[in-house]
Amino acid sequence: MTENQIKENIDNPAQLELLFRNDKKGFQKAFYSVYEEISAHQAAKFWKSRLEQEFSTTINRTTSLSEILLLFLTCAVTCFFIQIPNIFNFHYTDEIFYQRNAGLIVVFGIAAFLCISKKKFVLRNIIISLLIFIGSAVYVNLLPVNSESQSIILVYLHLPFMLWCLLGLVYINFDIKNINLKIDYIKFNGDLAIWFVLILVSGMILTFITLGLFNAAGVSIEEFYFDYILVCGLVSTPIISTYIIKHQSELTNKLAPIIARLFTPFVLLTLICYLISIPIVGHDPFHDRDFLIIFNIMLLGVMFLIIFSVSETSKSEKQRFNEIILLLMTFVAILIDLGALSAIIYRLEEFGLTPNRIAVLVSNLLILTNLIFILINLIQVNFMKRELPKVESTISKFLYIYAFWTILVVFFFPLIFAFK
């Protein structure tokens, strides 16, 4: 069976069913080979789900030597870039190098692997992606070295998010009109986070065992291990996670919904307890800058969990309980954001305008607006019988706004504030 038969008949359910019954194994292999090209079709999503159930105990794709070599090559190139300070003896600028380039290198590695592992790619899109990565690398490394400059530090923090938006374009093949692909990209990030943590925990155990064994033998390898093995392992883990997601999708599709269903209620309970404890403990984000930073980090984490849980819940049959939990969590996240915004406005009035305060203020306003729209959609889902994919559509539309904001911070803040 050829892949062309599936592509030609993707909107012909009767013919697809006939192809499947004639050769189930062959259909499965051919389907997964062309899935990236036909993923925008609803029929492709249906068949993907059906094949995962039909062959739940088997691997959905065979792993070829060429795919392993592509993975190894991508990891090797990424490790080379991250090791530039050690290879070329740039030790006196290690900290600055990693601040400027670590996020860029990691996102580049994932994007490169996605590009070279595609069965079909557009040369124009690859050239555009390369130019953006190269231009970003040149730009960020030409910025003045000033550890006191808030606008430059904001560039370091926002550049990975800007490139994350570019990674999204690579993932969806620059098809910006396809909402389903954008939602798939959101789900991909959740799956990536899960596998990254799992591999990271395994790596920590391996590190502990390795160092213990060498120390017991009287050999000290800590400096070499941390400078080379650990750093290379950290930048390779997202690429390896991407490989697992692409080639072991049935395992990922079983793992991610379970984590979303189990983890979300506990996070909601923890957030409620945390908010209740704030006045009791006596800390507040109005006068404690570090506490405000933690508050905003927590808000970003909750926002990500809501988005990830929405993408997983929409694929679940028994989703009523999850929809209620998502509604409550979104409401709590809005309360957190309002608290953070109040503190930021207070600090603006008390201490004046700075690049950091303006960036945090606008970021919180964007997140608040997004959360309000998500809350409205979830109210409609819970009480007006609307479909959960409506929430996914709202989330995907806000990706453009976040992308525009990161571009503004990265390229215009240093000029607006004269690199201060």
The residue among 198, 237, 245 whose CA lies nearest residue 78 is: 237
Mean pLDDT lowest for which of 3-12, 118-127, 248-257, 367-376? 248-257
- 241-298 residue pLDDT tens: 999 888 777 677 777 777 777 778 888 888 888 778 777 766 666 766 676 777 777 7
In whole angstroms, how far apart are CA 167 and each of 41, 49, 188, 326, 379?
A: 22, 25, 11, 27, 32
Mean pLDDT lowest for which of 5-9, 145-149, 171-175, 308-312? 308-312
Q: What does the pLDDT average to over 54-76? A: 71
Q: Is the pLDDT of residue 75 over 90?
A: yes
Instruction: Report the greatest alpha carbon distance in the chain.
Output: 74
- 37-53 residue pLDDT tens: 777 677 877 787 777 76
Helical packing angle, 24-38 and 42-54, nearest 10°? 140
218 — alpha (psi -120 to 50), left (phi > 0) or beta?
A: left
pLDDT of residue 135: 94
List phi, psi (to 5°) of 270: -65, -40
Q: What does the pLDDT average to over 212-233? A: 86
DSSP letters, 286-304, are: TT-HHHHHHHHHHHHHHHH
- 311-365 residue pLDDT tens: 666 555 556 777 888 888 888 888 888 888 888 888 888 888 888 888 888 988 9
d(CA 344, CA 22): 64
pLDDT of residue 64: 67
pLDDT of residue 140: 92
Q: What does the pLDDT average to over 67-84? A: 91
The residue among 247, 313, 334 whose CA lies nearest residue 29 is: 247
Inter-residue contact 246 to 62 (CB < 8 Å): no
pLDDT of residue 109: 94
Instruction: Name the residue type at position 158.
Output: H
pLDDT of residue 90: 67
Q: What is the residue-averaged pLDDT of the chain?
A: 82
- 393-404 residue pLDDT tens: 778 788 889 999
Percent of the chain with pLDDT over 90: 18
pLDDT of residue 78: 94
Confidence of residue 137 (pLDDT cuts 50, 70, 90): very high
Percent of the chain with pLDDT over 70: 87
- Give all strands (DSSP E) within 300-405, no chain letters: none
In whole angstroms, how far apart are CA 238 and each of 95, 193, 198, 324, 375?
A: 22, 8, 11, 32, 31
Q: Is the pLDDT of residue 21 over 60?
A: yes
pLDDT of residue 58: 45
- 79-128 residue pLDDT tens: 999 998 888 876 556 678 888 999 999 999 999 998 887 766 678 888 89
In this structure, the number of other CB atoms found within 10 A of the CB of residue 302 comes to 21
